[in-house]
Amino acid sequence: MQEDNELIRRYLAGDHKAFDEIHKRYHDAVFRIACMICGSPRHADDIVQEVMTALAKNLSAFKFNSRFFTYLYAITRNTACKYIRQEIRQKIPQPPGREYAVSDPTEITALNSALDRLPEKYRLPLLLKEYENMSYEEIAETVKINTGTVKSRIFYAREKLASLLKEAGCRL
């Protein structure tokens, strides 16, 4: 922990070699975390790149009151979840293997808006189920919650999504 804090201080003082050391030290851990979340080594490489770029730009936000790895884990998790959302959004309106009922551009916009309004803890399991065709067990493993919680969150997400779409005047 002290070594990490010293490297961070050196980097913030302008020593770019200190960041190279941080990168070497944590690259593999970030890669493993990204793989666990997104399930793909190819995507994990992209996530590692984004994490390290964000870390270099925002390291001054680290408060030194927790372990550096905790801070890095949060950045990695958030980046990986964002990456998954972006990948899934690219598949709307026609997810693989499914005909999607929404074809009107205004309804697609309403759907995207409604998805954005869902809290993350409900949106991510729903998107993984509907657009990645993951099983409840796979989602539970990916999101690190139990299977029963996955099922209830997906149920809630569908109910809330239907309500939001109805409010927006979409046909269901």
Do 74 and 110 lie in one domain? The reply is no
Confidence band for 123, pLDDT divided at 50, 70 and 90: confident
Query: Which tens digits make up the pLDDT trace of 27-69?
Result: 999 998 888 777 778 889 999 999 999 999 999 999 888 889 8
* Domain CATH number, residue 119: 1.10.10.10
Residue 35 domain flag = yes
The average pLDDT across 133-140 equals 86
In a domain, 129, yes or no: yes
Whose structure tokens read 């993984």? 128
DSSP annotation of 90 reads T
Q: Is residue 40 part of a domain?
A: yes
pLDDT of residue 105: 64
Structural domain total, the chain:
2
Would residue 75 count as lying in a domain?
yes
pLDDT computed for residue 131 by the predictor = 72
The label of the residue with tokens 């729903």 reads 126
Task: Kindly state whether residues 109 and 68 are assigned to the same domain.
Answer: no
Range of the structural domain that residue 32 is part of: 2-82
Beta strands in 4-94 (DSSP E): none
Check: CB of residue 4 under 8 Å from CB of residue 18.
Answer: no
- The predicted-structure confidence for 99-119, as pLDDT tens digits, reads as follows 445 555 666 677 777 887 888
Predicted TM-score of the model (pTM):
0.54
Neighbours of 42 (CB within 10 A): 8
At residue 108, the pLDDT reads 67
